[in-house]
Chain A
Amino acid sequence: MIDSRFSHCVVGLAAALPLSLFAQDPTPPAPVIYEEVLVTGGKVAIRSLSGSASFIDEEAIRKFDATDINELLGQVPGVYIRFEDGYGLRPNIGVRGATSERSQKITLMEDGILIAPAPYSAPAAYYIPNVNRMTAVEVFKGASAIEYGPHTVGGALNMVTPRVPEYGSGELDLALGSEDFRKARVVYGDRIGQFGINVDLLHYGASGFKQLDSGGDTGFDRNDANLRLEWRSAEGAALPQQMDLKIGYADEDSDETYLGLTDDDFALNPDRRYIASELDHFTSEHRQIHLLHNIELSDNLSLFTTVYGNRFDRSWKKYDGFLDGQPPSRVLAFPNIFVNEMALIRGEAWSDPDDPATIIDITNNAREYGSQGAETRLSLSLTQGSLSHNLGLGLRYHHDYVERDHQVYGYWMTESGLVSDGAGEHYKKALNKAQSDAWSAFLIDEIDYGNWKINLGVRYESIAGQLDDHLSGERTGTDTSVALPGVGVFYQVSESVGLLAGVNKGFSPAGPAAGPGVDPEESVNYEYGLRYTGEALQADLIGFFSDYSNLLGRCRASDSGCAVGDEFNGGEVEIAGAEFTLAWVGAFDNGLSVPVNLAYTFTETAFQNSFQSNFSQWGLVRAGDELPYTPEHQGRIEAGLEYGAWALDLALKYIGRMREVPGQGEYEPRTSIDALTTLGISARYEMTPRLALRLVADNVTDERQIVSRRPFGARPNLPRTVRVGLNYLF
């Protein structure tokens, strides 16, 4: 499977003298060693993978001018999203029932490199690369995920960045839209001999669709600058190799909040934001440097090495309840009980400077994350007759950390809004550093024999975590070592039909902040299904069953009654379901093309044990209770018309009803989310081969609904938004 990532393989001999690195060879461009780091192998290769995988190509990303990865992943079955701010600024992505909270149970990568801020020490991904600048998004589950860790309970997601173009070329993409949405992206790349450069600049933002009672800002701005330098060995080199250096910077400035609405207020105006959140402000900076190197040691032996470093700093000053009294999630859930508190949040009552239960808690959760590591993968192909082995051996060292400094400030609610209580810093909710050192290795063998493809693999993780709590002066640590085997089989029954089956051990480590009684999350994942690949039609039907021996819950700042990073055992859980995808292109003699894509997921979940948990997202759990935020049904169907320079696409998306707390039987209105159906439209017109105009409308029928009551109260989906844009290639 590894070899198939690379588009071309050049065999040659060349002196590996330093001078050769600077050889000038103006024409033609040096041969391609690899184009992109596609962990699935690409759109074609996944059709014969022994595990389930999805590939979203650039066309699909551009079609609806995706800036929100939550919306984009609606095309992928088995992926569950918990919506939050409407723009996908901090996605909550889960795969096959694994919790979606801040995408902490999936392995997030950019070009095959871990990209979450601290995947071992603090898996909640407050940074995820902007999908709008990607050329592909890959999602893979089951046995396909053996090579990628640490989180293999659900699967992995890889975002693929653009390569350096073969010839000097660029792209300008501009868009304007509802709520002052604006986007500008400039990409330019060129080559000089063995060297190449690509510059990718992106800015996008909006003034926000929420309406603060005090009239303040609720929007966001994001910037993303990336430089890619590439070097290739000269044609005919004895050891063809390629090196890419990626340097990236991204920042965000947003007036985002955790504070939602009561259900009654939501019914009156879903876009309202209470005045208690008027000061809420999030800023972040992400910096990365990635070095990728591949060398073809022989016809059948290659070595791919990455060295990486990421830094992510964020500061989120936001409403977090009151200096004393009830947690905000409880206040918003029971506004008729906490009448005084709600009045303060709405600005209908004023704070009593002598009563801390009436003073607004604005906490700045400042965190600095860092991750760095190196990984090398050796790929060896062996063929004997009709039997071939594609062996892969990988080794990675990774270190990451998070430093938390959560500082509380007090504010009075007054007639003119929030006013500082003048006391400066009150106290710190958290002051700690968690860090992890992880060695991981994998060994896989993809065996091809006639119509059979068998993947055998094992992943090994050895993780040492440490938490220094500067408030208590305590140091705690965890040490975890685990071997994660997996096997997948694909059998080509006929030219069009293939069968697949696989089983693998899933794992998600307990973080450094986990107490001694917290076990890592472990599961045994099964999948089995059928693939049909025809000329115009492709269809997959895959069933899955995940048997968790221990589900982990992880406390975030928005959870009450626990410290950030605390982890909780959820006991045994079973998750089962089926994924169905269909892709068909109807081509007509007159040149009309009708592409249709369908993705549907059915899911059943059940806790196997009864327990009471201090984890606010679970609470009282009875055996048989379904997991929250996992709808039984979800699906998306997209149909298009393409004719000449014109293209029109309609996408209908359905997310079924789901619970917000564990439960079974009838849904309680207060603790469940209603089903949501939205329609999106995209229209494109290519004025010239270089210039295309674009009109995109999301949620055309303006369906407005509560999509979550976490963290603090009801939150709406994105209202109808329209964007017009142009794309110019030069």
Chain B
Amino acid sequence: MALGLTLLCACTGGGGSGDDEAVPVASPEQFDYFGMFVNLADEVIVPNYRQLATNTAALADPTGPLGDYCAAIDTEEEAAALDTARLAWRDAMGLLQESEVHQLGPVADENTGLHDRLIKPADTNFSACGVDQSVVLGREPDFDLSTRLVNQKGMGALEYLLFNESLAHNCPAQIPETRDWNERSEAQRKRWRCDHALRIAADVAEAADAVLQAWLPEGGNYRAEFAHPDQHEAVIGLLSDGLFYIESDVKDRKLGSVLGLHNTCSQVACPDRVESLWSALSLDNIQRNLISYRRILTGDEGLSFDDMIASLGLPGIAERMVAQVDDALALLDTIDTPLKIQAQELLESGQADGCVNSAANPDTTQTVSACALHGYLKHITDTLRTDFVTAVDVDLPDRVQSDND
């Protein structure tokens, strides 16, 4: 037995193809669109929502890391508990950022407002004062979080409550709820903020669970609608629209607008526009966005756009798209300076040239790493706008059609 097995050890071997590389197919008619949708639903989208629901539920749990922090305020364990709570928020935020690239189906249904309960709409400004008011109002037994505006809830509000080092309120003097806020003790202000954080976390967890249930067969079974072959064309459109989050939100809003590379910032840089201002995790958010983009593009080990494009006889496009996102991810791994710091330095220098050059030539010039990242993102979006939409035969989403940079 040992002789036979020894001789046969490693006798069979696979080829050198990576697990997520596109595989060749003879013709487009052979491509398994149904398999692609099932793969994306079962291996990418639903697992992401499932993990998000799990993490946000843990965050909202009074016996979880956030509750532990609330209980540890004004004790020796406070600092460590705060770090743990912040880490839990960071993990949940990372999952949410991944889900932003597949904003379709239940989470995008404006009637339910689920997305806005998870994270405020991109086109609204966060209201720190509104959160400060809610912290105080939340002490009342009849307080109803659902009546608060979306820019005072969600993971952004949680970030403000957990990462903001200043305990001072951000409201005008005439706001009655916060008039005596700064006179309260540090401990009391921390506890009140933490209590409100738990309320917000509960709302986020409820919304995340609702999104998950909407996909599951025992719930809304959106998976059936998503994967059904009758919806093939529509779903391809929804998925490709989701991919364009990389352009409108990541490249333009999260980077371009901060670094003065987008017309929404008229200065050399606009550091106050940074996402995740208090946690300094904006580049982490971008990294998670790109990881999710890559997963949607490649389907991990299963079928997805790269295989679909290869079936059209255009494997080079798929390979290029994967290589482009890998370039961006590789650069992100090397960036240590937070985006806000880089933007502040740019603004203080008054010089845009370094950033512009880095953005234009990211392979050779990375003077300002965040700007070079913007350059890599532009490579991605240029391919999306041209080769990808042509190959996949979809239209540009409305929100990016006017972009002409």
Chain A residues within 8 Å of B, Cβ to Cβ: 326, 330, 334, 336-339, 528-530, 541-543, 545, 574-580, 602, 604-614, 619-625, 664
23 A-B contacts (beta carbon < 8 Å): A326-B229, A339-B224, A528-B7, A541-B1, A541-B4, A543-B8, A604-B12, A605-B12, A610-B15, A610-B23, A612-B24, A612-B311, A613-B30, A614-B26, A614-B30, A619-B32, A620-B302, A620-B307, A622-B23, A623-B17, A624-B13, A624-B14, A624-B17
Closest Cβ–Cβ distance, residue A620 to chain B (whole Å): 6
Which residues of B lie under 8 Å from residue A619 when comparing CB positions? 32, 35
- Say whether B172 faces chain A, with CB atoms less than 8 Å apart: no
Query: In the complex, what residue of chain A is closest to B34 when comparing beta carbons?
Result: A330
Closest Cβ–Cβ distance, residue A356 to chain B (whole Å): 14
- Say whether B188 faces chain A, with CB atoms less than 8 Å apart: no
Query: In the complex, what residue of chain B is closest to A339 when comparing beta carbons?
Result: B224
Closest Cβ–Cβ distance, residue B49 to chain A (whole Å): 16
What is the bound-complex CA distance between A543 and B2, given in angstroms? Answer: 10
Which residues of B lie under 8 Å from residue A625 when comparing CB positions? 14
Query: Could you tell me which residues of chain B, from 305 to 344, have a CB within 8 Å of some CB in chain A?
Result: 307, 311
- Say whether B58 faces chain A, with CB atoms less than 8 Å apart: no
Q: Which of B8, B25, B35 is within 8 Å of A577, CB to CB? A: B8
Chain B residues within 8 Å of A, Cβ to Cβ: 1, 3-5, 7-8, 11-17, 19, 21, 23-26, 29-32, 34-35, 38, 217, 221, 223-224, 227-229, 301-303, 307, 311
Q: A326-B229, A574-B11, A609-B15 given; name 13 further pairs at CB < 8 Å.
A: A336-B221, A337-B38, A337-B227, A541-B3, A577-B8, A602-B4, A604-B11, A607-B14, A610-B21, A611-B25, A612-B307, A619-B35, A620-B32
Closest Cβ–Cβ distance, residue A540 to chain B (whole Å): 10
Which residues of A lie under 8 Å from residue B24 when comparing CB positions? 610-612
Q: Are B4 and A580 in contact (CB under 8 A)?
A: yes
Closest Cβ–Cβ distance, residue B217 to chain A (whole Å): 4
What is the bound-complex CA distance between A168 and B13, given in angstroms? Answer: 59
User: Taking each of A330, A575, A578, A621, which has the highest tally of chain B beta carbons within 10 Å of its own beta carbon?
Assistant: A578
Query: In the complex, what residue of chain A is closest to B41 when comparing beta carbons?
Result: A337
Q: Are A610 and B30 in contact (CB under 8 A)?
A: no
Q: Are A622 and B301 in contact (CB under 8 A)?
A: yes
Name A's interface SS: strand
Q: A612-B23, A620-B23, A622-B23 are in contact. Are A578 and B12 (CB under 8 A)?
A: no
Q: Which of A338, A578, A607 is within 8 Å of B8, CB to CB? A: A578
Q: Are A576 and B12 in contact (CB under 8 A)?
A: yes
User: Taking each of A338, A541, A543, A620, which has the highest tally of chain B beta carbons within 10 Å of its own beta carbon?
Assistant: A620
Q: Are A337 and B228 in contact (CB under 8 A)?
A: yes
Which residues of A lie under 8 Å from residue B3 when comparing CB positions? 530, 541, 543
Closest Cβ–Cβ distance, residue A543 to chain B (whole Å): 4
Q: A610-B21, A620-B303 are in contact. Are A578 and B4 (CB under 8 A)?
A: yes
Which residues of A lie under 8 Å from residue B26 when comparing CB positions? 612, 614
Closest Cβ–Cβ distance, residue B106 to chain A (whole Å): 16
What is the bound-complex CA distance between A326 and B229, given in angstroms? Answer: 8
Closest Cβ–Cβ distance, residue B185 to chain A (whole Å): 54
Q: Are A576 and B14 in contact (CB under 8 A)?
A: no
What is the bound-complex CA distance between A334 and B35, given in angstroms? Answer: 11
Which residues of A lie under 8 Å from residue B35 when comparing CB positions? 619-620
Which residues of B lie under 8 Å from residue A530 when comparing CB positions? 3
Closest Cβ–Cβ distance, residue B305 to chain A (whole Å): 14
Closest Cβ–Cβ distance, residue B84 to chain A (whole Å): 31
Q: Which of B29, B30, B224, B301 is within 8 Å of A336, CB to CB? A: B224
Q: A334-B38, A612-B30 are in contact. Are A574 and B23 (CB under 8 A)?
A: no
Which residues of B lie under 8 Å from residue A664 when comparing CB positions? 14
What is the bound-complex CA distance between A611 and B229, given in angstroms? Answer: 22
Closest Cβ–Cβ distance, residue A692 to chain B (whole Å): 37
Q: Are A606 and B8 in contact (CB under 8 A)?
A: no
What is the bound-complex CA distance between A606 and B32, given in angstroms? Answer: 22
Which residues of A lie under 8 Å from residue B30 when comparing CB positions? 612-614
Q: Are A623 and B15 in contact (CB under 8 A)?
A: yes
Q: A338-B228, A620-B35 are in contact. Are A608 and B15 (CB under 8 A)?
A: yes
Q: Are B4 and A336 in contact (CB under 8 A)?
A: no
A-B complex: 6 closest residue pairs judged by Cβ atoms: A624-B14, A623-B15, A578-B4, A612-B25, A336-B217, A543-B4
Q: A334-B38, A337-B224, A339-B224 are in contact. Are A622 and B19 (CB under 8 A)?
A: yes
Query: In the complex, what residue of chain B is closest to A620 when comparing beta carbons?
Result: B303
What is the bound-complex CA distance between A60 and B272, given in angstroms? Answer: 84
User: Taking each of B4, B23, B35, B307, which has the highest tally of chain A beta carbons within 10 Å of its own beta carbon?
Assistant: B4
Which residues of A lie under 8 Å from residue B224 when comparing CB positions? 336-339
Which residues of A lie under 8 Å from residue B217 when comparing CB positions? 336
Closest Cβ–Cβ distance, residue B14 to chain A (whole Å): 2
Query: In the complex, what residue of chain A is closest to B20 when comparing beta carbons?
Result: A622
What is the bound-complex CA distance between A545 and B7, given in angstroms? Answer: 10
Q: Are A622 and B17 in contact (CB under 8 A)?
A: yes
Which residues of A lie under 8 Å from residue B311 when comparing CB positions? 612
Closest Cβ–Cβ distance, residue A169 to chain B (whole Å): 44
What is the bound-complex CA distance between A625 and B12, given in angstroms? Answer: 10
Closest Cβ–Cβ distance, residue A555 to chain B (whole Å): 13
Q: Are B8 and A545 in contact (CB under 8 A)?
A: yes
What is the bound-complex CA distance between A330 and B38, given in angstroms? Answer: 11
Which residues of A lie under 8 Å from residue B15 when comparing CB positions? 608-610, 623-624
What is the bound-complex CA distance between A614 and B27, given in angstroms? Answer: 10
Q: Are A337 and B13 in contact (CB under 8 A)?
A: no
Which residues of B lie under 8 Å from residue A602 when comparing CB positions? 4-5, 8
Q: Are B4 and A334 in contact (CB under 8 A)?
A: no
Which residues of A lie under 8 Å from residue B21 when comparing CB positions? 610
Closest Cβ–Cβ distance, residue B25 to chain A (whole Å): 3
Which residues of B lie under 8 Å from residue A605 when comparing CB positions? 12
Q: Which of B4, B31, B229, B303 is within 8 Å of A529, CB to CB? A: B4
Query: In the complex, what residue of chain B is closest to A530 when comparing beta carbons?
Result: B3
Q: A612-B31, A614-B30, A624-B14 are in contact. Are A604 and B8 (CB under 8 A)?
A: yes
Q: Are B11 and A576 in contact (CB under 8 A)?
A: yes
User: Taking each of A326, A530, A612, A621, which has the highest tally of chain B beta carbons within 10 Å of its own beta carbon?
Assistant: A612
Q: Which of B8, B19, B301 is within 8 Å of A576, CB to CB? A: B8
Q: Which of B7, B34, B38, B307 is within 8 Å of A543, CB to CB? A: B7
Q: A578-B1, A611-B23 are in contact. Are A622 and B14 (CB under 8 A)?
A: yes
What is the bound-complex CA distance between A620 and B34, given in angstroms? Answer: 12
Closest Cβ–Cβ distance, residue A442 to chain B (whole Å): 29
What is the bound-complex CA distance between A95 and B24, given in angstroms? Answer: 29
Which residues of B lie under 8 Å from residue A334 when comparing CB positions? 38, 227
